[in-house]
Amino acid sequence: MGAEVKIDALLENMTLAEKLGQLTMTAAGHAVTGPVIAGDSVEALRTGTVGNVLNLIGADHVHSWQRLAVEESRLHIPVLFALDILHGYRTLFPIPLAEAGLFDPAIWAATARATAAEAAADGIALTFAPMLDIARDPRWGRAAEGPGEDPWVGRCVAESKVWGFQGESLARADTLAATAKHFVGYAAVTAGREYAALELSERTLREVHLPPFAAAVEAGVAAVMPAFTDLAGLPLTAHRRLLRETLRERLGFDGVLVSDYNAVGELIEHGIAADETEAAALALRAGIDIDMMAGAYRRGLPIALQRGLVTMAEIDESVRRVLRLKERLGLFDDPFRRGSQKEPVAARTEWRHLAREVAARAIVMLTNTRDTLPLDPPPKRLAVLGPLADVSAEMRGPWWAAAPPEGHVTVVEGLRAALPAAEVRHAPGVSIEDADTSGIAQALALCDGADAVVLCLGEGAVMCGEAASRAHLDLPGAQRAFAEAVLDRAHERGARVIAVLFSGRPLVVPWLIARADAVLAAWFLGSEAGNALADVMTGRISPSGRTAMTWPRAMGQIPIFHAERPSGRPFASDNRYTTRYLDEPNEPLFPFGHGLTYGKFTLSGLRVAPSVARESDTLEAQVEVTNEGKRRAKETVFLFIRDKVASVTRPLLELKAFGSVTLAPGERTTLTLAVPVRELRFLGIDLEPTFESGEIEVLVGPEAARKCLLTATVRLADGSPR
């Protein structure tokens, strides 16, 4: 029987309660580890009144729940099991913001592929990832989960991740359906405060926040999750125009829209629904297919039907989409396919190798004065200090999926393994967040006689991710006092200090950057964190990560990002009446794309062809890259454009391509970056895409700072006049 015929037949047969079951997702809650099948859930699965479950971990558990649905429910419809799997399932890769900094689509896809295989082997069929919110405000903790500040990067990540999770066919036992979230603009919450309402111009919405979702839809993403938030007066969960017109009609999304956790119920608190019935009707009419955790569809839609707020056709349309997804996932065919594979032992070793490689490559070397790194010759005595130096659970970062707290390599463990002949001594000094300074003296004593001090500082894993907005982005607790004391003591004794910063966002720590001899942004690197950091510190691997978000020098600069639009009064140091602060420079501490390597790269001879280009052409920028340093290293190169005169103002820098080369000492090569000219279209005065004739500046270099970029000019020939 063809899929649609089967779905028609089911729909024909389903009671209203069974239909609403397919539109309902509930959490397994404590059943994940406790006595498996508890009260209500059994009944709901047997009666077909819950069709989708989140947060159930373990193939045995998943299969026993599935059995209840397919063997005991009237229509035998399989359950969809879902989980947030943002950067690995049991094997954890670096958090998404860190992984974005690899600027390597093949790796972005590879980690999603491995993650899908590992999670599907446990019976999971749907992940709530990738998170595609473009984040320009590091106060917002969820910046950790996404691709950073740039929409072009967001597009590339979206494409790679959807492909990585979903593979060629969702019916395979090792794939997951992906969910692009959170549609759309969530990262712009007011003042970076979680769940707050937001304002966005239609232009910024379309130019910055929508493109990654468009790319995910184009790549065939199976599901989309609207954001919790209110966008200019309408919560996304009820945003009919954006969900139905923009997402479904304009972008062509025909998959499942799943609400965020309890978001349908929260329409009451938002103040646009008087009760659950109205909330359910608003969400369904806006196009939300699955109500996650509110129970509003189950309880409210029957009443909404009676009141004429929704129609059965609207309900059927959503049920059909959910059943289609289950069909595409092969669940009707074999609901036990995922989770029936043998223990993937060999694969697990491979995933750990991949995790180590990706983690090493995600580390961003922010500074390295006097070639402090790598540690060469290898130190004999090393003091590894700080509250993040030896805690496995913290290495996971936020959203650790099914990864237990233990088993993730710490910095102390990694350095001990990499330097077996060295004496590696450790003391935490202080804890991550509290004010107790009683452990400082003991830690300071370890600086005496050490060849170098590795100081592991930062946020705890739960201080970023969801519900983790921060108004201060300095080190929490007593860490600053501790770090200053260590810096004083180590420098007095002639030992260099390498600061390793753990965080889910750029921190605002100019004092540390100024004083430490080298600073590594470790973000949260996952299961192989300590080995990866040791690989970089010992010089086995050159650091090559770049920051996918701008690092501010002061809180007052936030939001800060490279793609700002021009001012009519550009900064001039001798003119007060230009765009500036009285008390801080405009420049960030580290621009987007910043990250040092153990090589010493120079870029020269930028050529862009054709010099007169048409919309159907592809621009090719070629640049000579030379490694004048003493070590083999990888250099990432960015291509930005600046449309100097257009009918609307255009950003000062717009990222359009990136690429990288690995070069031995003394080696030189030509790197080519290609940009299809149609990518230079932009939204005109009427917000419709336009292609205008005129001059475009092409800027190529290692980071988003004009002074580091080579420039060339091309002329667009066949566009419309301004």
Nearer of residues 54 and 362 to ligand BGC, judged by Cβ: 54
Closest to 78 (Cα-Cα) out of 92, 65, 89:
65
What is the C-alpha to C-alpha distance for residues 67 and 705, in angstroms, rounded to an integer?
58
Alpha-carbon 113 to chain mean position: 16
8 Å CB contact between 606 and 595: no
Give the residue, chosen from 89, 213, 261, 601, that forms a contact with ligand BGC under the rule CB under 6 A: 261
Q: How far apart are the first and last CA of the chain?
A: 56
449, two tokens: 């006689």
Closest to 348 (Cα-Cα) out of 86, 87, 85, 90:
90
Q: Which three-class secondary structure state does DSSP give residue 256? A: strand
8 Å CB contact between 273 and 240: no
Residue 4 beta carbon to ligand BGC: minimum distance, rounded to whole angstroms: 29
Q: Which three-class secondary structure state does DSSP give residue 671? A: strand
Q: Which of the residues 119 through 158 are near ligand BGC (CB under 6 A)?
A: 128
Closest to 363 (Cα-Cα) out of 95, 708, 590, 145:
95
What is the C-alpha to C-alpha distance for residues 573 and 567, in angstroms, rounded to an integer?
15
Residue 205 beta carbon to ligand BGC: minimum distance, rounded to whole angstroms: 19
Directed axis angle between helix 211-218 and helix 151-166, to 10°?
A: 30
Tokens 């692009």 locate to 180
Nearer of residues 7 and 288 to ligand BGC, judged by Cβ: 288
Q: Which of the residues 475 through 504 are near ligand BGC (CB under 6 A)?
A: none
Residue 55 beta carbon to ligand BGC: minimum distance, rounded to whole angstroms: 7
Which H, E and C letters describe 144-175, residue by residue?
A: HHCCCCCHHHHHHHHHHHHHHHHCCCCCCCCC
Residue 130 beta carbon to ligand BGC: minimum distance, rounded to whole angstroms: 11
Q: Which of the residues 62 through 121 are near ligand BGC (CB under 6 A)?
A: 84
What is the C-alpha to C-alpha distance for residues 411 and 463, in angstroms, rounded to an integer?
20
Nearer of residues 84 and 122 to ligand BGC, judged by Cβ: 84
b/e sequence 376-393, b meaning 16+ C-beta within 10 Å: eebbeebbbbbbbbbbbb
**HSE-up (13 A, CA, CB side) for residue 200:** 25
Nearer of residues 433 and 466 to ligand BGC, judged by Cβ: 466
Radius of gyration for the alpha carbons in the chain, expressed in angstroms and rounded: 26
Phi, psi angles (nearest 5°) of residue 222: -80, -30
DSSP E strands in 514-576: the ranges are 518-521
Give the residue, chosen from 18, 260, 291, 703, that forms a contact with ligand BGC under the rule CB under 6 A: 260
Residue 295 beta carbon to ligand BGC: minimum distance, rounded to whole angstroms: 15
Residue 401 beta carbon to ligand BGC: minimum distance, rounded to whole angstroms: 11
Strands 694-701, 633-643: parallel, antiparallel or unpaired by DSSP? antiparallel
**Count of positions on this chain that bind ligand BGC (CB under 6 A):** 7
Residue 181 beta carbon to ligand BGC: minimum distance, rounded to whole angstroms: 6
What is the C-alpha to C-alpha distance for residues 552 and 561, in angstroms, rounded to an integer?
9
- Would you tell me how many other CB atoms lie within 10 Å of the CB of residue 110? 18
Residue 67 beta carbon to ligand BGC: minimum distance, rounded to whole angstroms: 24
Nearer of residues 119 and 457 to ligand BGC, judged by Cβ: 119
Q: Which of the residues 167 through 206 are near ligand BGC (CB under 6 A)?
A: 181
Q: Where are the alpha helices (DSSP H) in 449-584?
A: 479-492, 510-515, 529-537
Binding characters for ligand BGC, 669-708, by CB under 6 A (x = yes): ----------------------------------------
Q: Which residue is nearest to ligand BGC (CB)?
A: 128
Nearer of residues 84 and 692 to ligand BGC, judged by Cβ: 84
Nearer of residues 190 and 579 to ligand BGC, judged by Cβ: 190
Residues labelled catalytic: 260
- Would you tell me how many other CB atoms lie within 10 Å of the CB of residue 340? 12
DSSP E strands in 209-287: the ranges are 223-226, 230-231, 234-235, 256-257
What is the residue type of 557? Q
Does position 230 interact with ligand BGC (CB under 6 A)? The reply is: no
Does position 165 interact with ligand BGC (CB under 6 A)? The reply is: no
Nearer of residues 152 and 261 to ligand BGC, judged by Cβ: 261
Looking at residue 27, what DSSP letter applies?
Answer: E
Residue 417 beta carbon to ligand BGC: minimum distance, rounded to whole angstroms: 35
Nearer of residues 209 and 656 to ligand BGC, judged by Cβ: 209
Residue 237 beta carbon to ligand BGC: minimum distance, rounded to whole angstroms: 12
Nearer of residues 261 and 640 to ligand BGC, judged by Cβ: 261
Does position 466 interact with ligand BGC (CB under 6 A)? The reply is: yes
DSSP E strands in 359-404: the ranges are 364-368, 381-385
Q: Which residues here bind ligand BGC, judged by CB under 6 A?
A: 54, 84, 128, 181, 260-261, 466
